[in-house]
Amino acid sequence: MASISLKNVQKRWGKTVGVKDFNLEIADQEFLVLLGPSGCGKTTTMRMIAGLEDITQGEVMIGDRVVNNLEPKDRDIAMVFQSYGLYPTMTVYDNIRFPLKIRGEDKAAAHERVMRAAAMVELEPFLDRKPAALSGGQRQRVALARAIVREPTVFLMDEPLSNLDAKLRVSTRAQIKNLQHELKTTTIYVTHDQIEAMTMADRIVVMSQGEIQQVGTPEEVYNHPNNTFVAAFIGSPAMNLTDGTLEGGVFTNSHIRLPGLPAVIEGPVTLGYRAEDANLVEQGGHLNGPIFSTELLGDATMVTCKVGDQLLSVKTDKDFRAPIGQPMSASLDLATCHLFDATTGERLTGR
């Protein structure tokens, strides 16, 4: 097993910067998720760890070895991609066994490892099939088994669930998380899906434009976002953000007045709150406006109202019903509100 260290890692293509000053320590057996929008540098970072992308500057260590100049095959890693990369003419069994065949592993020992890997991802009934006879979820499990059978020190997974439907994504992410717990293998998982990150990660690295925005547990990045980018990217729905002025601990804009906040600054700020931290009231709340839409989520109802020119969300009881256009009022719990610098977007205060 192995820890991973990235020190001042950069990737540039001429004047274009893909990853900038990336510093991170990944613990042995940790499940780390690189999260961010397309083009943020998360896949490039993982490819540099894998050796599939040259490092412009900096150092990557796996265990106690600097691996900058090592070939991918010499880094003792296994990768699972968005595309399954299966050999169409081979059976499931042969696809899983292929890495061991290339290594020249003993046939009996290889068979035992193939069967063990197939059992872990529940593929035993499908070992004689070709990939064309499998569903998308089954093909992804073959790709997982092929990575598992190598018994690497590090798993690298690049958006492995993107091609699956919603129901399969839920079951497969649970399977991956459980597998990682059983195998106790250091895992780096790349995704743009914040729900995957929140449900699977030990720690999340939120990235934007090639830079780390925040590193923390799912609870930390959700409850204590470093800036407005993280606040808006993490959560479903995203944190409500509205600009205004803070004077003497009173936040105001043309549609909201919210007294009793910490007087951390005088002047322009951005107020943030989560939909579940607001409550619908009969009247006299902090937010007032007509209902723009309602969405039944099953265990709750998401109510979006139009406050001035902004759409702001409130999560309420699953039995809530009201027509679009009906006036709505909502109160905020001051203890759960966040304040961000209006210019830099950096966090000023919050729970």
- For 325-334, the pLDDT digits (tens) are 999 999 999 9
Q: Is 97 left (phi over 0), alpha (psi -120 to 50) or beta?
A: alpha
Range of the structural domain that residue 48 is part of: 4-227
pLDDT for 260 equals 92
The answer to whether position 270 is within a domain reads: yes
Express each pLDDT in 311-327 by its tens digit: 999 999 999 999 999 99
Contacts of 197 (CB under 8 A, 6+ apart): 33, 35, 191, 204, 218, 234
Please tell me whether residues 133 and 280 are part of one structural domain.
no
Same domain membership, residue 260 and residue 187 = no
120 close to 148: Cβ distance less than 8 angstroms = yes
Number of domains in the chain: 2
Taking residues 292-296, report their average pLDDT: 96
- Does one domain contain both 270 and 178? no
Residue that finishes a domain, picked among 179, 207, 227: 227
- The pLDDT, as a whole number, for residue 351 is 54
pLDDT given for residue 136 in this prediction:
86
- Write the pLDDT tens digit of every residue in 1-40: 689 999 999 999 999 999 999 999 999 999 999 999 999 9
Which of 172, 193, 227 finishes a domain? Answer: 227
Q: Are 288 and 280 in contact (CB under 8 A)?
A: no
| Per-chain mean pLDDT for the chain | 93
Tell me how far apart the alpha carbons of residues 231 and 301 are, in angstroms, rounded to a whole number: 21
Q: Output the domain CATH number for residue 186.
A: 3.40.50.300
Q: What's the count of helices (H) and strands (E) in the chain, helices before strands? A: 8, 21
Q: pLDDT-based confidence at 171, cuts 50/70/90?
A: confident
